[in-house]
Structure 1
Amino acid sequence: MAFAANPLALSVPEPAFESWLRDSGYLEILDQRTTAAAAASSCAANSKAVPAVTAGFFVSLFSRIFTFLSLFTFNPFAKLTAEDFAGVTPSWSHSFIGCCDSYSFPSSPSQARLRVQENVKRYARNYAYLFILFFACTLYKMPVPLFGLISCLALWEFFKFCSDRWGLAKYPVTRLCLIRVVQCATAIVLIFFNVQLALFCALSVSYAGIILHAAFRKLTPATKQPSRRRVWW
């Protein structure tokens, strides 16, 4: 039995619908639709003959490898702003880590890009704390860079103490020249004590951890911050 088309029904193009989902904050629906479409195509491929299934296995394997390599071809911090670090830190157990069902392999590079850019914005404060933890652990294993970093901090504290004691704020030119001298001394200390090596190790581990977690972590409904109302007395 054929049904006649409803003239009052709205037909929304697919790109417009996806744009509306992005603007409305329902990105988890777009993530679920992409995963469901990939699962449907996989089931259709498995229902064919055995040689086709074998070929489909290699196609799926190379597709996953291509998706994994695509994670390192774009900037995950493109949509990151300073306001993302000013909000409340998401819960480590419920929001950031989640359960086993909260993770899945991205079905396409576009889905991986969507997850990474959105999760980096949502968990920016969590990733920042993890970087500080990795950097502290790296310095713990490298006592010489740790001594160099402490020396740089002590150098700047000594400059601040001298600036306040001598009243260098009244002499901006002299103060600027001394700042340049302290900056050069800081760079020499950092290079001499190999602090850049510890920073590079911490950045590498943190970047890899951010990419993997953000790509495999499913998108969840965005939690809106409670609006603050002004009370006029």
Structure 2
Amino acid sequence: MAFSANPLALSVPDPTFETWLRDSGYLEILDQRTSDLHRISTTTTTSTTTTTAAANSNSHSNSTTTTTTTTNQPSGITATNSLLLSTLLNNLGTLISLFTLNPFSKLTNEDFSGDTPSWTLGFIGYSDSYSFPSSRSQARMRVTENNKRYCRNYATLFILFFACSLYQIPIALVGLVTSLALWDLFKYCGNRWDVDKYPVIREVLLRLLQCVTVAIIYACNVQMAVLYALGVSYAVMMLHASFRKLTPVKQPTKGK
């Protein structure tokens, strides 16, 4: 051995260090560390494959004729193509696994009661604020944490998409306004005629109004506008939360 072991050196295994980072709340460090390890492993694998293919090509060229060398050269291309195909399949599997996650598993009422993060620096960020998740565990960590941080932004986007869908389907807007007007009329008439004194009559009118509301919503395709808004906002939320790198909760000020 070139160097003697240092008994005072502290060596922490990777799983233990990752567990400490996760429990201590340093998820942004864990996220960056996972991306760096994946990039290093990918670069090493690509370099090894290229070196092996070049060595095989040189050995064939030294031992055989030019015709045989030309025939054996595609082996390196095949190895590179297989590596690219494997990477593509892994990335596709990671994307598909995003829609099997439950992004609302760690949401609490306190997450919606806080301030809305900045749309520019906090939510959108810069060009280097995004990267493809290297593994399913990293994608799960990003989705759950970013969903807690930007839940108010995602709720605002849902309202915006719902308004756009109502604009595209005017009859749905008419049905929604009609339903709200009926409920306001029911509340006004109930307070004026003191329907609370007659619980049976109030219950019958309430059930009848619910049936009328469902019929109006179904006839005016309000449910389609809601489904469009839910689908688009859910897809945007999952893609943004999985590709958005984790950043420190408290951004450092300039000059510090």
Partners of 1:30 and 1:114 lie apart in 2 by 10
Partners of 2:183 and 2:7 lie apart in 1 by 73
Query: How many pairs does the alignment contain?
Result: 223
C-alpha contact 1:131 1:202 (8 A) present in aligned 2: yes
Among 131, 141, 150, the residue aligned to 2:168: 141
Q: Shift of the alpha carbon at 1:173?
A: 4.3
Q: Shift of the alpha carbon at 1:13?
A: 4.5
More helix by share: 2
Partners of 2:199 and 2:113 lie apart in 1 by 32
Structure-2-length-normalised TM-score: 0.81
Q: Which runs of 5+ in 2 are unaligned?
A: 54-75, 252-256
Among 202, 205, 213, the residue aligned to 2:240: 213
In structure 2, the residue matched to 1:38 is: 38
Matched residue type, 2:40: A
Partners of 2:16 and 2:188 lie apart in 1 by 59
Partners of 1:168 and 1:210 lie apart in 2 by 44
% identical equivalent positions: 55
Matched residue type, 1:40: I
In structure 1, the residue matched to 2:7 is: 6
Q: Shift of the alpha carbon at 1:133?
A: 0.3
Q: Shift of the alpha carbon at 1:171?
A: 4.0
Matched residue type, 1:54: N
1:43-85 deviation line (CA, Å, top 9, x unaligned): 1112123434332222111111111111112212221222211
Alignment of 1:148-163 (within 5 A): 148-163=175-190
Structure-1-length-normalised TM-score: 0.89
Q: Which runs of 5+ in 1 are unaligned?
A: 225-233
Please say if 1:91 is aligned against 2:157. Answer: no
In structure 2, the residue matched to 1:229 is: none
In structure 2, the residue matched to 1:230 is: none
SS in 2 for 1:47: helix
Please say if 1:196 is aligned against 2:197. Answer: no
Cα 1:55–1:143, aligned 2, differ >3 Å: closer, same or farther?
same
Please say if 1:18 is aligned against 2:18. Answer: yes
Query: Which range moves more in the overlay, 172-181 or 129-138?
Result: 172-181
1:101-149 deviation line (CA, Å, top 9, x unaligned): 0001111111111111111111000000000000000000111011000
Matched residue type, 1:43: T
TM-align CA RMSD: 1.9
In structure 2, the residue matched to 1:115 is: 142
1:172-219 deviation line (CA, Å, top 9, x unaligned): 444333322222221111111110011111111111111111111000
Question: Could you say which structure has the greater relative contact order, defined with CA pairs below 8 angstroms and 6 or more residues apart?
Answer: 1
In structure 1, the residue matched to 2:66 is: none
Partners of 2:134 and 2:159 lie apart in 1 by 32
Asked which structure has the greater CA Rg, the reply is 2
